[in-house]
Structure 1
Amino acid sequence: MTRRGGVSTGAVAGLQCGFGAGDDEADVAENRRLATEAVLPGAALVTPYQVHSNDAVVVTQPWAWEDRPRADAVVTDRPGLLLGIVTADCAPVLLADREAGVVGAAHAGWRGAHGGVIEATVETMVSLGAERDSILAAIGPCIAQASYEVDDGFRGQFTEDDGRFFGPGRKGHWQFDLEAYVGKRLALAGVEHVDPLGRDTYREEVSFYSFRRATHRSEASYGRQLSLIGIAG
């Protein structure tokens, strides 16, 4: 989903789907309803409490809002459930094994991807009957390399082999390719069929919310877009 449409107003105008954005909760709920009906009408939307972890959980039924698990990936084989991940520069990753009837959604910021959230998602899908070589993955809109400046301390957390994901920047800084790095982690997890969207949340303001853009502008809040995948009932 992009930010286009929706009922939110002000600095987060559009299809703003994050309850942590200081937005009117009724507007957020309506935006989530609109998104759900656009993707899988009548489905129950299920989202985790995202904490930049490497935890993936299986969803068998909708949970109460206050009972959301702290996790950054959700997986299901149950028709009628719609898995959702909110992002605002991090990479949303949607995965599906159509033959096995198993889907997953992961929130992959640099920390989660580096910590193994992609591999955990794939392993959880396999535990429900998915086959690695049958899984299709899409990497949704995220901050692009040209917009993602990081410092030497950040670079130092990655291996020498990961140097290919760091382009030259100003002194003591690098440009990090999050989308390509997530693609690498998918490959390491055995997922061969990957479709990167190639959209930059930072620069495409009309279409996407961006945490980093809002931070650079000293804005009070920032919106979140919602990425969705499910199994029709």
Structure 2
Amino acid sequence: MNTTSASPAERDTAGSGPGRILVWDAPVRVFHWLIVLCFAGAYLTAERESWRLVHVTLGYTMAGLVVFRLLWGIVGTRYARFSNFVRGPRAVTAYLRGMLGGRTEHHTGHNPAGAVAIVALLALALAVAVSGWATYEDIGGKWLEEFHEAAANIMLGVVGIHIAGVLLGSWLHRDNLIGAMITGRKTGRPENGVRSAWRSVGILMMVAVLGFWWTQWNSAPGGVANGPATVSGKAVTQDRDDD
């Protein structure tokens, strides 16, 4: 089931200088890009009734992804675990002070400031998904709908801060952090790389998500564009042009 991450050359040079090593396993990378897709898609379809099926499906998917990430943060590979990168306020403050002073400390996994953004995004994603479900089920009233919208907007702001931090970190450390979330590889010593990419789990994640999307699509009689759609057995009325 596991896929060896380090090449023979990397294993033979353990203890040598820094090189490209595997840091982010496949489940972390698949989660990252799926959550990006789900949040962006759900945010863009929030105001159109005719896109409600897509909006709700992406919200449910986001909730499932967060639950998976919380579990993988306990049993996953080294740099995926919360115990590896979640630090207290003192460590975060020290890292930020060093960054402002041009003395950034390189971290193989997430740095302390990035960890704060990740935890915040996970919490906000769960809040958005749960409040969205409750709003869709007419639980909680108008205040919950407003909370749902506010949480989504706050999450968008945190996403912007996170992107800015990634770009700044890439420049300060001369390491492409965006590319690392695609390939899984960052600069580091060979002995610090994770030994398994767990590609099989990443594939299972994709299969599960695509299967769920297919089920949701088939639950809509005639598809999204041809009449009232249903999501989890609930009718969705399409908006109509006034003119």
Same fold by TM-score greater than 0.5? no
Task: Tell me which of the two structures has the higher relative contact order, counting C-alpha pairs closer than 8 angstroms and 6 or more residues apart.
Answer: 2
Question: Which has the greater radius of gyration?
Answer: 2
Query: Larger strand proportion, structure 1 or 2?
Result: 1
TM-score (norm 2): 0.23
